[in-house]
Amino acid sequence: MAKSQVTFNKIEKEKKRLKKREEKQKKKEARRAEAKENPQGIQFAYVDFNGNLTDTPPDPALREKVEAESIELGIPKKEDREEEEPAAKEGKVSFFDHSKGFGFIIDSINQEKYFVHVSGTLEPIEENDKVTYELERGQKGMNAVRVKKI
Protein backbone atom coordinates (compact mmCIF):
# COMPACT_ATOMS: atom_id res chain seq x y z
CA MET A 1 0.00 0.00 0.00
CA ALA A 2 1.08 3.52 -0.73
CA LYS A 3 1.32 6.15 1.97
CA SER A 4 -0.82 9.23 1.78
CA GLN A 5 1.00 12.29 0.39
CA VAL A 6 -0.74 14.58 2.86
CA THR A 7 0.98 14.42 6.22
CA PHE A 8 -0.41 15.33 9.61
CA ASN A 9 1.85 18.42 9.75
CA LYS A 10 0.51 19.76 6.45
CA ILE A 11 -3.06 19.32 7.61
CA GLU A 12 -2.34 21.20 10.87
CA LYS A 13 -0.63 24.09 8.99
CA GLU A 14 -3.64 24.38 6.68
CA LYS A 15 -6.00 24.48 9.68
CA LYS A 16 -3.93 27.27 11.29
CA ARG A 17 -3.89 29.24 8.04
CA LEU A 18 -7.68 29.01 7.70
CA LYS A 19 -8.17 29.99 11.36
CA LYS A 20 -5.97 33.11 10.92
CA ARG A 21 -7.89 34.07 7.78
CA GLU A 22 -11.20 33.78 9.63
CA GLU A 23 -9.91 35.88 12.59
CA LYS A 24 -8.67 38.56 10.21
CA GLN A 25 -12.06 38.68 8.49
CA LYS A 26 -13.84 38.98 11.86
CA LYS A 27 -11.59 41.88 12.92
CA LYS A 28 -12.21 43.63 9.60
CA GLU A 29 -15.99 43.32 10.04
CA ALA A 30 -15.75 44.57 13.64
CA ARG A 31 -13.84 47.68 12.53
CA ARG A 32 -16.45 48.39 9.84
CA ALA A 33 -19.29 48.01 12.34
CA GLU A 34 -17.54 50.33 14.83
CA ALA A 35 -16.99 52.94 12.12
CA LYS A 36 -20.73 52.88 11.28
CA GLU A 37 -21.71 53.27 14.96
CA ASN A 38 -19.20 56.03 15.75
CA PRO A 39 -18.60 58.18 12.62
CA GLN A 40 -16.16 60.77 14.09
CA GLY A 41 -14.13 61.17 10.95
CA ILE A 42 -10.52 62.24 10.99
CA GLN A 43 -9.07 63.28 14.35
CA PHE A 44 -6.96 66.46 14.33
CA ALA A 45 -3.99 67.47 16.42
CA TYR A 46 -2.95 71.10 16.53
CA VAL A 47 0.47 72.52 17.32
CA ASP A 48 0.51 75.53 19.65
CA PHE A 49 3.00 78.42 19.51
CA ASN A 50 5.47 76.56 21.74
CA GLY A 51 5.48 73.45 19.54
CA ASN A 52 3.29 71.31 21.82
CA LEU A 53 0.46 69.14 20.47
CA THR A 54 -3.05 70.14 21.57
CA ASP A 55 -6.61 69.16 20.67
CA THR A 56 -7.84 72.78 20.43
CA PRO A 57 -6.96 75.08 17.54
CA PRO A 58 -4.55 77.93 18.35
CA ASP A 59 -5.93 81.45 18.87
CA PRO A 60 -5.20 83.53 15.75
CA ALA A 61 -5.01 86.70 17.86
CA LEU A 62 -1.83 85.39 19.53
CA ARG A 63 -0.06 84.82 16.22
CA GLU A 64 3.23 86.72 15.78
CA LYS A 65 3.87 88.66 12.58
CA VAL A 66 7.18 87.70 10.91
CA GLU A 67 8.70 89.67 8.07
CA ALA A 68 9.80 87.43 5.19
CA GLU A 69 12.91 89.58 4.65
CA SER A 70 14.07 88.98 8.24
CA ILE A 71 14.41 85.22 7.69
CA GLU A 72 18.00 84.22 6.87
CA LEU A 73 18.59 81.05 4.93
CA GLY A 74 21.90 79.28 5.35
CA ILE A 75 24.81 80.03 7.65
CA PRO A 76 25.32 83.67 8.60
CA LYS A 77 28.57 85.13 7.32
CA LYS A 78 31.34 85.90 9.76
CA GLU A 79 32.63 89.15 8.32
CA ASP A 80 34.92 89.96 11.24
CA ARG A 81 36.79 86.65 11.00
CA GLU A 82 37.29 86.82 7.25
CA GLU A 83 39.19 90.11 7.55
CA GLU A 84 41.66 88.75 10.12
CA GLU A 85 44.55 86.62 8.96
CA PRO A 86 44.74 83.30 10.79
CA ALA A 87 47.63 83.20 13.23
CA ALA A 88 50.50 80.92 12.25
CA LYS A 89 51.28 78.23 14.80
CA GLU A 90 54.59 76.57 15.52
CA GLY A 91 55.26 72.92 15.97
CA LYS A 92 57.56 69.99 15.27
CA VAL A 93 57.15 67.29 12.61
CA SER A 94 56.79 64.03 14.56
CA PHE A 95 56.31 61.76 11.54
CA PHE A 96 56.33 62.20 7.76
CA ASP A 97 56.18 59.49 5.08
CA HIS A 98 57.30 60.80 1.69
CA SER A 99 56.14 57.66 -0.17
CA LYS A 100 52.56 58.02 1.13
CA GLY A 101 52.63 61.83 1.24
CA PHE A 102 51.37 62.52 4.76
CA GLY A 103 52.55 63.02 8.30
CA PHE A 104 51.82 64.57 11.68
CA ILE A 105 52.86 67.78 13.42
CA ILE A 106 52.87 68.21 17.21
CA ASP A 107 51.94 71.72 18.37
CA SER A 108 54.64 73.29 20.57
CA ILE A 109 52.10 74.97 22.89
CA ASN A 110 49.33 72.44 23.58
CA GLN A 111 51.01 69.21 22.34
CA GLU A 112 48.09 68.45 19.99
CA LYS A 113 48.79 66.24 16.96
CA TYR A 114 47.65 67.56 13.58
CA PHE A 115 47.52 65.73 10.26
CA VAL A 116 49.51 67.23 7.37
CA HIS A 117 49.30 66.21 3.71
CA VAL A 118 52.09 66.82 1.21
CA SER A 119 49.70 69.10 -0.73
CA GLY A 120 49.52 71.37 2.35
CA THR A 121 53.26 71.98 2.52
CA LEU A 122 54.98 74.97 0.93
CA GLU A 123 58.42 73.31 0.99
CA PRO A 124 59.73 69.78 1.62
CA ILE A 125 59.76 68.81 5.29
CA GLU A 126 61.43 66.01 7.24
CA GLU A 127 60.90 64.45 10.66
CA ASN A 128 62.01 66.59 13.65
CA ASP A 129 61.84 69.83 11.57
CA LYS A 130 60.47 72.88 13.38
CA VAL A 131 57.70 74.34 11.23
CA THR A 132 55.06 77.05 11.13
CA TYR A 133 51.58 76.16 9.92
CA GLU A 134 47.91 77.17 9.89
CA LEU A 135 44.91 75.01 10.75
CA GLU A 136 41.91 74.22 8.57
CA ARG A 137 39.00 71.91 9.27
CA GLY A 138 39.15 68.70 7.23
CA GLN A 139 36.81 65.70 6.96
CA LYS A 140 38.21 63.98 10.05
CA GLY A 141 39.38 66.97 12.11
CA MET A 142 41.86 69.80 11.99
CA ASN A 143 44.58 69.65 9.30
CA ALA A 144 47.83 71.61 9.13
CA VAL A 145 48.15 73.63 5.91
CA ARG A 146 50.66 76.16 4.51
CA VAL A 147 53.46 74.35 6.33
CA LYS A 148 56.98 75.72 6.03
CA LYS A 149 60.25 75.30 7.94
CA ILE A 150 61.42 77.88 10.46
Amino acid (1-letter code) at residue 59: D
Per-residue pLDDT band at 14 (split at 50, 70, 90): very high
* Per-residue pLDDT at 35 exceeds 90: no
Render 84-105 in DSSP notation, one character per residue. Answer: SPPPPEEEEEEEEETTTTEEEE
More confident residue, 16 or 1: 16
* pLDDT, averaged across the chain: 86
* Mean pLDDT value of segment 94-103: 95
Tell me the three state secondary structure of residue 62: helix
**Cα–Cα distance for residue pair 63/48, rounded to 1 Å:** 10
Tell me the three state secondary structure of residue 119: helix
The answer to whether the pTM exceeds 0.85 is no
More confident residue, 86 or 137: 137
* Mean pLDDT value of segment 2-29: 89
DSSP assignment, residue 61? Answer: G
**Domains of the chain in sequence order:** 81-149 (2.40.50.140)
